[in-house]
Amino acid sequence: MSQTQRDPKVVIIGAGMTGILMTIKLREAGIRDLVILEKTDRIGGTWRENTYPGVACDVAAHMYTYSFELNPEWSHRYAHGDEIQTYFEKVARKYGVMDAVSFNESVDHCHYHNGKWDVGTSKGRRFEADFVINCTGILHHPAYPNIKGLDSFEGAKFHTARWDHSVDLAGKRVGIIGTGSTSAQIVPELQKKVQKLTVFQRTPHWLFPSENYRYSEQDKQRFRDKPERIWRTRRTNEFFLQQFITKAVTGQKLPNFIFSNLCKAYLRFSVGDPELRKKLTPDYRVGCKRIIISNQYYPALQKENVELHTDGIREITPKGVIDNNGVEHEFDVLVLATGFNPVSYMRPMDMRGENGQTIDEAWEKKIATYRSMFMPGFPNNFLMLGPNTPIGNYSVIAMSEVQCGYILKLMERWRKGEFDAIDAKPEAAQSFVARMKDGLKNTVWVGGCSSWYLDGDGDPILWPYTWKQWEEEMEEPNLADFNTSQCEPEPLSKTA
């Protein structure tokens, strides 16, 4: 049997964390004919987009790191956003990823026909690809609130993912709409600068306290001298998440009981004012919304220049916000901490699979994939961090590395000539979705709240089982769940 391998042409969409990872691993596998199409002028994805005061990762830094590129230089347990951005840029330069990136070039269309993907860009260029890998991320399409008069406000107004650093907040009256993870990071920072900070809360969140301690120079030197120290730190964090947090949110009684009571006790002992504590107490199960990791948010809300409003917003005026009691609150600056549209994925690009089927048509009834990565009817097309990727409070880098390994095994079979096109069977995707829905019945994510974890039908798009089980199931592709085919070659021209 011939050992000759084919070399695929690959288009990667997006130069964030997963795009960088895929480029490195594809090249290590000997795949060199690839391009990354990046819509902006920098790599980094989420960490390029989000530069608001206090931005940080709520996954411990040594766990939020590529397994092949450990970093002894993290300054805090939970790394700040600019530090994470610097890390990704350093990794991209070290592994030559920058050479593969075409910046300021978004994808206009991505159409499949005759066994190839035709990719057209905003620069008018066309690429023919054997494989398309969508590394478009989940936290880059800002969600704006549907509030009457939003555009009428005359002061400075911006979404947290579009932070306007030209606006000086010192001594200003600032209103912030939203109280999720982003707001919990911003409020303690703004409180130190502004004259008055008014926080508009629609739904309270459960918080889990964790000290963001600083790594000293001595700590960093120990990590530099013995990388196994980093591995021990990493494994400790992984053990805590896998054996405690994951088990708690997926419905295992004892971890859930302990975790829930820790969060409730933290609220009870951190907020002295009974009225404020009542406002901050959710009416849903701990973990139903993403747990906020913070020991600074509650103290910040109790400062003299901070006020929490829970009466709802009737409308926004040129001067400020009118609440549902008819009271107008005047502001100099309005900040929208209203999160993202997490299920946009590749949209709004024009992506069409077999027979011209669009993403919207494929997902008209349900956002459904096989193994989070495969949309039936879209051969040789992979989606990183798609629906039912574990997410939760785990590291998306770890998730991406597992998915990357799965994809490389399929591409290796293509290189050996076992098939030209591979596509998940519709029944395999339906079975996967049904299994996810069945497993989610006992999790906290169906605990009576509305969250960004939910799709249009109200179903969580998370993995309801253990991390170990996910790793084991992703170890080797089951080809019985795929349709594979050989493509008819193009007829040779008479002049060839």
Q: What is the pLDDT, as a whole number, of residue 495?
A: 37
Q: What percent of the chain has pLDDT over 70?
A: 97
Amino acid in the structure at residue 16: G
Check whether residue 276 and residue 185 sit in a common domain.
yes
> Are the beta carbons of 263 and 206 closer than 8 angstroms?
yes
| Section 250-263 average pLDDT | 90
From 317, 336, 355, the end of a domain falls on 336
pTM over 0.75: yes
Q: How confident is the model at residue 488 (pLDDT cuts 50, 70, 90)?
A: low
Which has more pLDDT, 473 or 390?
A: 473
Check whether residue 179 and residue 326 sit in a common domain.
yes
Check whether residue 318 and residue 372 sit in a common domain.
no
Check whether residue 100 and residue 208 sit in a common domain.
no
Check whether residue 380 and residue 322 sit in a common domain.
no
Half-sphere exposure of 259 (CA within 13 A, CB side): 27
Quote the domain boundaries for residue 325.
Answer: 150-233+252-336
Q: What is the pLDDT, as a whole number, of residue 381?
A: 98
Residue 490, in any domain of the structure: no
Report the mean per-residue pLDDT for the chain. 93
Check whether residue 204 and residue 159 sit in a common domain.
yes
pLDDT digits (tens, 9 = 90+) for 1-40: 345 789 999 999 999 999 999 999 999 999 999 999 999 9
Would you tell me how many other CB atoms lie within 10 Å of the CB of residue 455? 15
> 252: which 2 tokens?
């295992």
pLDDT digits (tens, 9 = 90+) for 349-389: 899 999 999 998 998 888 889 999 999 999 999 999 999 99
Q: What is the pLDDT, as a whole number, of residue 117?
A: 98
Q: What is the pLDDT, as a whole number, of residue 38?
A: 97
**Which residues are paired to 128 by β-bridges?**
118
Q: What is the pLDDT, as a whole number, of residue 492?
A: 39
From 319, 336, 353, the end of a domain falls on 336
Tally of domains within the chain:
2
> Are the beta carbons of 452 and 205 closer than 8 angstroms?
no
Q: How confident is the model at residue 343 (pLDDT cuts 50, 70, 90)?
A: confident
Q: What is the pLDDT, as a whole number, of residue 193?
A: 96
Check whether residue 124 and residue 109 sit in a common domain.
yes
Q: How confident is the model at residue 63 (pLDDT cuts 50, 70, 90)?
A: very high
Residue 492, in any domain of the structure: no
**Which residues are paired to 214 by β-bridges?**
76
Q: Which of 135-144, 461-470, 486-495 has the lowest mean pLDDT?
A: 486-495
- The crossing angle, in degrees rounded to 10, of helices 217-225 and 227-240 is 100
Residue 246, in any domain of the structure: no
Q: How confident is the model at residue 489 (pLDDT cuts 50, 70, 90)?
A: low
Check whether residue 16 and residue 160 sit in a common domain.
no
Q: How confident is the model at residue 247 (pLDDT cuts 50, 70, 90)?
A: confident
pLDDT digits (tens, 9 = 90+) for 85-98: 999 999 999 999 99
d(CA 455, CA 444): 16
Q: How far is CA 323 from CA 1, 195, 347, 437, in A?
A: 74, 20, 34, 38
d(CA 53, CA 191): 11
Those residues whose C-beta lies under 8 Å from the C-beta of residue 367, and which sit 6 or more positions away, are: 343, 387, 455, 456, 461
Q: What is the pLDDT, as a whole number, of residue 332?
A: 98
**For the domain that residue 168 is a member of, what is the CATH number?**
3.50.50.60
Check whether residue 192 and residue 133 sit in a common domain.
no
Q: What is the pLDDT, as a whole number, of residue 126?
A: 97
From 277, 307, 336, the end of a domain falls on 336
Would you tell me how many other CB atoms lie within 10 Å of the CB of residue 269? 11
Which has more pLDDT, 122 or 365?
A: 122
**What secondary structure, in 3-state letters, does the chain show?**
CCCCCCCCCEEEECCCHHHHHHHHHHHHCCCCCEEEECCCCCCCCHHHHCCCCCCECCCCCCCCCCCCCCCCCCCECCCEHHHHHHHHHHHHHHCCHHHHEECCCCEEEEEEECCEEEEEECCCCEEEECEEEECCCCCCCECCCCCCCHHHCCCEEEEHHHCCCCCCCCCCEEEEECCCHHHHHHHHHHHCCCCEEEEECCCCCCEECCCCCECCHHHHHHHHHCHHHHHHHHHHHHHHHHHHHHHHHCCCHHHHHHHHHHHHHHHHHHCCCHHHHHHCCCCCCCCCCCCEECCCHHHHHCCCCEEEECCCEEEECCCEEEECCCCEEECCEEEECCCECCCCCCCCCEEECHHHCEHHHHCCCCCCCECCCECCCCCCEEECCCCCCCCCCCCHHHHHHHHHHHHHHHHHHHHCCCCCEEEECHHHHHHHHHHHHHHHHHCHHHCCCCCCCECCCCCECCCCCCHHHHHHHCCCCCHHHEEEECCCCCCCCCCC
| Section 162-175 average pLDDT | 97
Check whether residue 191 and residue 332 sit in a common domain.
yes
